[in-house]
Amino acid sequence: MPTVLVYGDDPAFRERIRLAAGRLPGGAALGPVDYVEAAASGAVVRAVDAGGIDALVLDGEAWPAGGLGVCRQLKHEVAVCPPILVVIARDADRWLAKWSMADEVLATPLDPEDVAAAITRLLTEAVAQLPEPAPRKGLLGRLLPS
C-alpha cells in the first residue's frame, strides 16, 4: 500500500488533502493509499529518513517552516527523495515552487480531481524510481529463472 505524508501546521489543510484525494486516488491500478500526517517539519524529515514514504504533500503556507523550504531541504539532503507536491496559496508563487524543486504544484483553491491526479502522478513516479531487483543467483553463481 503506497504511503503519502501530508504536512501542514493546520489540521484542516491535512484533512482537506486526504478527503480531496480519497483512499483510491489512482483507482484500482495503484490500490488504496495510506496517509500519514505531520504538523512539524522535523517530523517530516524524520519520516522520510526512516523510509516507507512514497510521496509527500506539503503546505507552502505552513508555519514556522513552510512546505517550500521543507521541500528544498529534502531535495538537497535525501539521496533518493520521494516525489513532492507543494500546495501554494497564490498562483504567482509558482516561481517559489520551482525554486523548491517540487515535482508537482497546485494553487488554492484546490479541485479534488486535481489533487487526486497529482498524487497519482507522484505515486506513479515513485514506483518508477524503485531499483530493479537484483538477478537471483544459485550456489554456483549461475542466474536462476525469475
Residue 97, CA distances (Å) to 35, 70, 113, 139 in order: 23, 11, 20, 51
* pLDDT-derived band at 18, boundaries 50, 70, 90: very high
Contact 106, 85 (CB under 8 A): yes
Contact 6, 100 (CB under 8 A): no
With respect to residue 73, please indicate whether it lies within any of the assigned structural domains.
Answer: yes
Alpha helices (H) along 30-134: 41-50, 67-77, 94-100, 112-129
74: cell is 529534502
With respect to residue 134, please indicate whether it lies within any of the assigned structural domains.
Answer: no
Residue 16's domain is classified under what CATH number?
3.40.50.2300
The structural domain count of the chain equals: 1
pLDDT at 13: 98
**N-to-C CA span, the chain:** 23
Q: Is the pLDDT of residue 144 over 60?
A: no
With respect to residue 24, please indicate whether it lies within any of the assigned structural domains.
Answer: yes
Within 8 A by CB and 6+ apart from 87, the residues are: 13, 17, 57, 58, 59, 60, 61, 67, 105, 106, 107, 108, 110
Q: Is the pLDDT of residue 135 over 80?
A: no
With respect to residue 91, please indicate whether it lies within any of the assigned structural domains.
Answer: yes
With respect to residue 23, please indicate whether it lies within any of the assigned structural domains.
Answer: yes
With respect to residue 146, please indicate whether it lies within any of the assigned structural domains.
Answer: no
With respect to residue 108, please indicate whether it lies within any of the assigned structural domains.
Answer: yes
Residue type (1 letter), 141: G
Please provide the average confidence, as pLDDT, over all residues in the chain. 90
Q: Is the pLDDT of residue 130 over 90?
A: no
Domain range spanning residue 104? 3-129
Q: Give per-residue pLDDT as tens, 52-105.
A: 999 999 999 999 999 999 999 999 999 999 999 999 999 999 999 999 999 999
pLDDT at 90: 95
Q: Is the pLDDT of residue 138 over 90?
A: no
pLDDT at 89: 96
Q: Is 78 or 137 the better-scoring residue by pLDDT?
A: 78
With respect to residue 139, please indicate whether it lies within any of the assigned structural domains.
Answer: no
